[in-house]
Amino acid sequence: MIQLDEFSVGTIVYQRSPKKKEYGVVIKIISDDYRPIIIRWDCEPQERYSYTLDEIEVIKIQIVPFLQPQKTLVKLLPNQPIPLSNGKTIILLQSAVCPGQSHLILLSYLDKLSSNVN
């Protein structure tokens, strides 16, 4: 069972949809609220969604354990195949490095870029 203390502001989460994985960030926690966890999803950055712990478990929102905000750097090497959640693979010409929390921007960019790749 999921516990509220597993989440904190800045926790990076994902949910697998039928077409791809959606990534998001916990932007607020209101511990005494019916829906205490508020997430901003990368696919809809202007929207905020509130969830109960039961909803998080049922719709299978999971924490990305290996990317800790402000503690992790993500580096993608050039000339290495990068499989994306939509089934496509891309290869970067230059390496890309970003702080763990800004990986959402990078993932969004790669998913958009991959829509132009055959």
Which residue shows structure tokens 């960030």? 25
CA-to-CA dists, residue 99 to 54, 57, 73, 75, 102, angstroms: 31, 28, 5, 9, 6
Cα separation, 68 vs 57, whole angstroms? 21
Cα separation, 66 vs 13, whole angstroms? 11
Delimit the CATH 2.30.30 region(s) of the chain. Answer: 4-63
Percentage of the chain lying above the pLDDT 90 cut: 21
> pLDDT tens digit string along 31-67?
899 999 999 998 787 889 999 999 999 999 998 876 5
- In the chain the beta strands, taken as DSSP E runs, fall at 12-16, 21-29, 37-41, 49-51, 62-63, 73-76, 81-83, 89-91, 96-99
Are 2 and 21 spatial neighbours (Cβ–Cβ below 8 Å)?
A: no
Task: Grade residue 21 by pLDDT with cuts at 50, 70 and 90.
Answer: confident
Question: How many residues in total does the chain contain?
Answer: 118
pTM (global) more than 0.75: no
CATH class, range 4-63:
mainly beta
Cα separation, 18 vs 117, whole angstroms? 20
